[in-house]
């Protein structure tokens, strides 16, 4: 089951920032990637549960990250 998060910031930290930081040695994820643009593509808000969740596959996440690398 895909976990959900109460805030977009929490979802971004867990589903975007953490994997990017774990993948390589980078000094500042928010400087090296447009994290908000990645979040726009891979996170979705569920109005029924009032939560955010990741809606991308592993491949589409990394394609988005590559597209939004600074």
> What confidence score (pLDDT) does residue 25 get?
67
Tens-digit pLDDT profile for residues 19-39: 999 987 677 888 899 999 999
Task: Please count the structural domains in the chain.
Answer: 1
Distance in angstroms (rounded) separating the CA atoms of residues 26 and 48: 37
Distance in angstroms (rounded) separating the CA atoms of residues 42 and 28: 20
The model carries a pTM of 0.89
Q: Quick check: 1 pLDDT over 70? A: no
- Measured in whole angstroms, how far is the alpha carbon of residue 69 from the centre of its chain? 13
Tens-digit pLDDT profile for residues 51-62: 999 999 999 999
Please give the helix or strand (H or E) that residue 53 lies within, else none: strand 51-54
Domain that holds residue 39: 4-67
């Amino acid at each position: 089951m895909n976990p959900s998060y109460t805030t977009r910031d929490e979802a971004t930290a867990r589903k975007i920032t953490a994997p990017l930081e774990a993948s390589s040695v980078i000094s500042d994820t928010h400087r090296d990637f447009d994290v908000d643009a990645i979040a726009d593509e891979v996170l979705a808000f569920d109005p029924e549960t009032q939560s955010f969740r990741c809606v991308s596959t592993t491949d589409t996440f990394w394609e988005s990250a590559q597209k939004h690398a600074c």
